[in-house]
Amino acid sequence: MQNPDIARVFDEVADLLEIQDANPFRVRAYRNAARTIRDFPEPIAALVRSHTKALTEIPGIGEDLAEKITAIVTTGELPLRKQLAAKLPPGLLDLLRIPGLGPKRVKLLHKKLKVKSATDLAAALAKHRIQKLKGFGPKIEEKIRTGLGVAEQSERRLLLHEAETAANAIVAYLQASGGVAQIEVAGSYRRRRETIGDLDILVTSGDSPKVMERFVSYDEVADVVSQGETRSSVKLRSGLQVDLRAVEPAAYGAALQYFTGSKAHNVELRKVAQEQGYKLNEYGLFKGTRRVAGKTEAEIYARLGLDWMPPELREARGEIALAREHRLPRLVELAHIRGDLQMHTSATDGKGTIAEMAEAARTLKYEYIAITDHSKRVTMARGFDAKRLRQQWKAIDEWNASAHGFTILKSVELDILETGKLDLPDDVLAEADYVVATIHYGLNQTERELTGRLVGAAQHRWIDAIGHPTGRLLGKRQPYLLDFDALARAAAGAGCLLELNGHPERMDLPDTLAAAAKQHGVRFVLSTDSHQPNNLPFMKYAVDLARRAWLEAGDIVNTRPLAEFRKALKRARESR
């Protein structure tokens, strides 16, 4: 089993416990375990089988959790999960897939309205019974109604991070047998969408039937949908469908282009080909019956008079016209990033010390980081008041005094309160090197109220950036109501940065909004929202967002050396 599969079991246990009114600390222990497992850089199943490293050496994993992980890996199930699930109606857990419904609300719906399934929920919505419950109301009811429709119409999608774990494992498995000359994962995965519905893998091989046989024998396969000599399809235990196609080398580039581009991109590209007297399909670019290109993507685009387009751009948003004019943006790359500007330590809700987070960043060749532990409003995370924050900043000053070639910025993730006021006074914020302001509470306020809170923070003299600006949690929480154009205009006018948060569960700003903000003149910062040292590689997902938004290195301030980064902050202007 892959790490996301194991983590999913612990998440489900936490949900079951919460619905059944279990001790909150027990619930949180399983949620923390799920996060630790999901983010762990090595395959935990391999550790269980090889016994090369004790699971208890992983921070946050004690003997009890280690035993449960071993049970999941060796049997595919956890007895505790089955025991807890048996106490509830089988359809109740399905409600957790509905955006706007978490364990607490599902528990209340079950307890007060006897809701046991999506059908029961739909009936309660039809009679407007939900809005009468304490803590719900008409707005929540409408949100749940919308979420129910989304859940019914869409397949289960994996986070990009989860899909990447599965994709890397399958590719490594196929390559290990030999006989695979070329291999690439195409589709929305290659375009780096934040969620993935299925995987399309392309290979070239001298013995494609052998490759197909190995593919369907993969030990994560739950169901073989189809098997042929050049194409097979399976469903994994996680529910992810994976299609494998073997193509001839002369058509590999054509197939890769065809199975990578969005439907709209491919339609536009075929029109370009037709206008020039060609026919384009997954087998190549043809002049009559003669294939004139197909071995590589680049030769197909070149034959059509176009520059090769990075996969992230292939969404039919004007990229083909720019490729014809040789004006495609030079997209930001991971190597351009010099620092990470949001992370948390064990002083609040993280799992690493200041020194451990700094060492992890140094390993990635960064020049600076910002330690942004929560402010006091986030009580569940033991957020900082002014006194504790200044104590941490003093420790950072001492650390910086002995460091060479690396700097920790004195920072904070500052809550924007429901009233619009900030969680800490101005005299504290003025002492910081960098402040990122975020919303964690009052998410059900009106669009006007939420927009006002964010705009006010963006215009505040000591706020350098707005973090995870839409508040979304992929698959769990929809973005809150927001006039984004108003926020973008305010940020651009005030010189406030907008964050592209690369944590796999957030991926916020969405690429379309980041692209819109750039048109307003907004500048950006990329960060990971890391809660432990091994989260810092999540920066690649922030870069994915930025590339899908057509951002270049110049649009992003933490591509700059420290001195230039400091000058780019709003507080540099305010301090003069």
Domain boundaries, the chain: 3-153, 158-246, 262-324, 334-575
Q: What contacts 98, CB < 8 A, 6 or more positions away?
A: 118, 121, 144, 147, 148, 150, 151
Selection from 347, 351, 354 nearest residue 408 by Cα:
354
127-180 pLDDT, tens per residue? 888 888 877 878 778 878 877 766 555 556 889 999 999 999 999 999 998 889
Q: How far is CA 435 from CA 259, 286, 401, 420, 526, in A?
A: 42, 56, 21, 16, 14
- Give the H/E segment covering residue 258: helix 252-260
Class of 3-153 per CATH? mainly alpha
Write down the pLDDT at residue 156: 67
Q: How many CB atoms lie within 10 A of CB 356?
A: 16
Q: What contacts 395, CB < 8 A, 6 or more positions away?
A: 354
Q: How far is CA 286 from CA 265, 274, 291, 297, 300, in A?
A: 19, 10, 4, 14, 10
Distance CA 10, CA 545 (A): 28
Q: HSE (CB half, 13 Å, CA atoms) of 184?
A: 21
Write down the pLDDT at residue 576: 55
Q: How far is CA 88 from CA 12, 271, 559, in A?
A: 13, 55, 51
* CATH number given to 158-246: 3.30.460.10
Write down the pLDDT at residue 155: 55
- Give the H/E segment covering residue 199: strand 198-205
Write down the pLDDT at residue 54: 81
Selection from 359, 339, 361, 334 nearest residue 542 by Cα:
334
| Order of all β-strands in the sheet with 524-527 | 339-340, 368-371, 407-415, 434-438, 465-466, 497-501, 524-527
Distance CA 17, CA 28 (A): 10
Q: HSE (CB half, 13 Å, CA atoms) of 503?
A: 20
Selection from 447, 371, 438 nearest residue 409 by Cα:
371
Tell me which architecture the domain covering 262-324 has in CATH. Answer: 2-Layer Sandwich (3.30)
Query: Does domain 334-575 correspond to CATH entry 3.90.1150.10?
Result: no
Tokens encoding 348 = 């609040």
Helices (H), 61-202: 63-75, 79-86, 103-113, 118-126, 137-153, 160-176, 187-190
| Low pLDDT (below 50) residues in the chain | none
401-452 pLDDT, tens per residue? 988 789 999 999 999 999 999 999 999 999 999 999 999 999 989 999 999 9
CB contact at 8 A, 452 and 420: yes
Q: How far is CA 194 from CA 123, 257, 341, in A?
A: 33, 20, 21
Tokens encoding 499 = 């964050």
